[in-house]
C-alpha cells in the first residue's frame, strides 16, 4: 500500500448546523491530521483512511461561540481534545463511493457513512500527482453526547440536532 499526504492548504474539514431553525452556522477544524493509504487512489475501495481533529481548533468565525463549543456544554476539549474517524469499508457507488467508518466524539463511537465524490486526478506544476475528493455525511449530534440547547420563545430550539460534515481533500503521494 502506498501512503498519501493530505495537502492541508487545499483541504478543509467543515460542518454546518441549523441556527434558530432559520439559518445555518458553518465552521471548520483548522488543525487535523490524516492518514491515507491505498493501492491506487483512482479506486478508493483500496484505501484505509483515518482522521484526527484537534477540537480546540474549531473555527466558526465567532470567538464567543467557539469558546462555548470548546467548553463543557459541547465538546469539553479539556477532557476530549480529539475527534477521530477510522474507515471500516469503502464501496463503489456508480461513479462515487460510500465510505463507512467509526466516528468518535467525546468517547462515543458510532458508524458513519460518507458520500464521496472523486474529483479527479491531475499533475501539479512540480510534477506531483494530485487527487481530489469531496465527502459529506450527516450525524445527530445528540447521539455523541452533544446535547446542550436552548428553547426559543417563539418555539423551536437554538441549535439543530443534525450536523452536516463536509470534507474537501486534495492528496498527493507521500514523498
> Domains along the chain?
2-173 (2.40.128.110)
**How far is it, in rounded angstroms, from Cα 169 to Cα 158?**
31
Q: What is the mean pLDDT of the chain?
A: 92
Query: Is the confidence at residue 22, as pLDDT, over 80?
Result: no
pLDDT in the model for residue 144: 95
Residue 148 near residue 124, CB atoms below 8 Å: no
Rounded Cα–Cα distance for residues 66 and 123 (Å): 37
pLDDT at 149 over 90: no
Average pLDDT over residues 136-148: 91
Q: Record the cell numbers describing residue 42, joined without a space.
A: 483512482
- Percentage of the chain modeled with pLDDT above 70: 97
Amino acid at each position: 500500500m502506498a501512503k498519501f499526504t493530505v495537502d492541508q492548504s487545499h483541504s478543509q474539514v467543515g460542518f454546518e448546523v441549523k441556527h434558530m431553525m432559520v439559518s445555518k452556522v458553518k465552521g471548520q477544524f483548522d488543525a487535523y491530521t490524516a492518514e491515507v493509504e491505498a493501492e491506487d487512489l483512482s479506486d478508493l475501495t483500496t484505501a484505509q483512511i483515518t482522521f484526527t481533529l484537534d477540537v480546540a481548533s474549531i473555527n466558526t468565525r465567532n470567538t464567543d461561540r467557539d469558546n462555548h463549543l470548546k467548553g463543557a456544554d459541547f465538546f469539553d476539549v479539556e477532557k476530549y481534545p480529539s475527534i477521530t474517524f477510522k474507515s471500516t469499508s469503502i464501496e463503489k457507488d456508480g461513479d462515487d463511493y460510500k465510505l463507512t467508518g467509526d466516528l468518535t466524539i467525546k468517547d462515543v463511537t458510532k458508524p458513519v457513512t460518507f458520500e464521496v465524490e472523486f474529483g479527479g486526478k491531475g499533475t501539479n506544476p512540480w510534477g506531483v500527482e494530485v487527487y481530489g475528493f469531496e465527502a459529506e455525511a450527516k450525524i445527530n449530534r445528540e447521539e455523541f453526547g452533544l446535547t446542550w440547547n436552548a428553547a426559543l420563545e417563539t418555539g423551536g430550539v437554538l441549535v439543530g440536532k443534525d450536523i452536516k460534515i463536509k470534507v474537501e481533500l486534495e492528496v498527493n503521494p507521500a514523498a
